Amino acid sequence: MTEKLKHCPFCGGVAVFDQGIAAGNGSATFSATHYCVTLQTRIQTRNYGSEKDAASIWNRRMEPVSRREEVTQP
Ligand SMILES: [Zn+2]
């Protein structure tokens, strides 16, 4: 099953998986990457052992400030 990557929060563009090979043991590595037209730079996760791990990092999003305040206030 292919993992889904969220769209870029800055430009709304599509992110893709990039597969590589680990220098140490030759195992496959996976990262999520995107060239952002708004930031004019490449955004990329670190390399992980599976698409699932790379996707879980890429798909993390900060909570909006208003919702964070609700959480931290007694
Ligand atoms: Zn972008």
**Does the structure show a pLDDT above 70 at 1?**
no
Q: In this predicted structure, what is the pLDDT of residue 65?
A: 75
Q: In this predicted structure, what is the pLDDT of residue 35?
A: 98
CA of 1 to the centre of ligand 1 (A): 25
CA end-to-end span of the chain: 42
Each residue of 38-61: pLDDT tens digit? Answer: 999 999 999 999 999 999 999 999
> pTM, whole model, 2 decimals?
0.78
Find all residues with CB under 8 Å of 27, minimum gap 6, and list them.
Answer: 21, 49
Find all residues with CB under 8 Å of 24, minimum gap 6, and list them.
Answer: none
**Does the structure show a pLDDT above 70 at 68?**
no
Burial (CB < 10 A; 0-12, 13-18, 19+), residue 62, is exposed
Q: What is the C-alpha to C-alpha distance for residues 70 and 74, in angstroms, rounded to an integer? A: 8
**Where exactly are the structural domains of the chain?**
16-72
CA of 13 to the centre of ligand 1 (A): 5
Each residue of 21-43: pLDDT tens digit? Answer: 998 899 999 999 999 999 999 99
